[in-house]
Amino acid sequence: MNRSDVNEILKAGDAFVRSFGHILPPFAYWAPEKQRSAEAEPLRSRGLGWDITDYGEGRFDEMGLFLFTTRNGAVEDLGAGRGMLYAEKIMISRENQLSPMHRHNIKAEDIINRGGGDLIIELFAPDAEGTIDRDAKVTVPCDGVVRSFEAGTRLRLLPGESVTLMPGIWHAFWAEKADCLIGEVSTVNDDRTDNVFEMPIGRFSKITEDEAPLHLLVSDY
């Protein structure tokens, strides 16, 4: 992706988030120089901030996601079983923009449709080796109610609805009818090591520096 495209996505994403009455924290608007400062080291070390990804494929409109991590604990907290064990993100899935099939080894997450279009989540259970089981039913809580679905079910979340995905559950998602604002509440998030994709793709974008960054991305850290 070109940095100029990233900058425009940041501005459009911020406006979309605000249109739902959701305001990003003050550090979202720090200049790159301040993001690189000693004051910002705790933000960098925990991966807080802007995250625009096309999964390294250069087709953001078809396959991509806007994310902003507002809070995050440390992996060491999980190991100790105490401390800040949670994380939170706000995301935007554009209409028919795919977030490709993947699972997490450690992270459990609630995915919440915060408004806009319908959020479609395609679901599979893992087999004994952790790969996709295309025959087994998949069981997930939806707003606290445990439900079982056939393999490959495309669960439709309307605004206000949510699903809980435990480690190992395979999922892909996209928006239909309109762009969708998504909330994510999870255990500690580590995007560097805890994403396993079905396709041979990367988690972060490859950026071509055709202009100065408006704000640094977590991948710039």
User: Any idea what the CATH number is for the domain that residue 147 is in?
Assistant: 2.60.120.10
Query: Is the pLDDT confidence value at 83 over 90?
Result: yes
Q: What is the predicted pLDDT for the residue at 107? A: 97
159: three-class secondary structure by DSSP: coil
Q: How far apart are CA 3 and CA 211, in angstroms?
A: 6
Token pair for residue 221? 């850290």
Distances 157 to 49, 55, 143, 175 between C-alpha atoms, Å: 26, 24, 10, 10
- Mean pLDDT for 33-42 is 98
**What gap in Å lies between CA 18 and CA 24, rounded to an integer?**
8
Other beta carbons less than 10 A from residue 156's beta carbon = 12
Predicted pLDDT of residue 105: 96
Look at residue 78 in the predicted model and tell me its pLDDT: 87
C-alpha 113/C-alpha 159 separation (Å) is 5
- Report the percent of the chain where pLDDT is more than 70: 100
Report pTM: 0.96
Mean pLDDT, range 129-136, rounded to an integer: 97
pLDDT of residue 205: 95
Q: 179 falls in which pLDDT band (50, 70, 90)? A: very high
Q: How many structural domains are present in the chain? A: 1
H/E stretch holding 10: helix 3-18
- pLDDT for residue 28 is more than 90: yes
pLDDT of residue 124: 98
Give pLDDT, residue 200.
96
Mean pLDDT calculated for residue range 134-149: 98
User: Residue 213: what pLDDT?
Assistant: 98
Query: What does pLDDT average to over the chain?
Result: 97
Q: Please name the residues in contact with 49: beta carbons below 8 A apart, sequence gap of 6 or more.
A: 27, 28, 35, 43, 68, 69, 215, 216, 217, 218
pLDDT for position 59:
96
pLDDT of res. 79: 85
Instruction: Give the structural domain span for 54.
Output: 3-220
pLDDT score, position 202: 94
% of the chain residues with pLDDT over 90: 98
| CA–CA distance, 73 with 148 (Å, rounded to integer) | 31
Confidence of residue 173 (pLDDT cuts 50, 70, 90): very high
* Rounded CA separation 221/212 (Å): 15
Structure confidence by residue, pLDDT tens digits, 188-214? 999 999 999 999 999 999 999 999 999
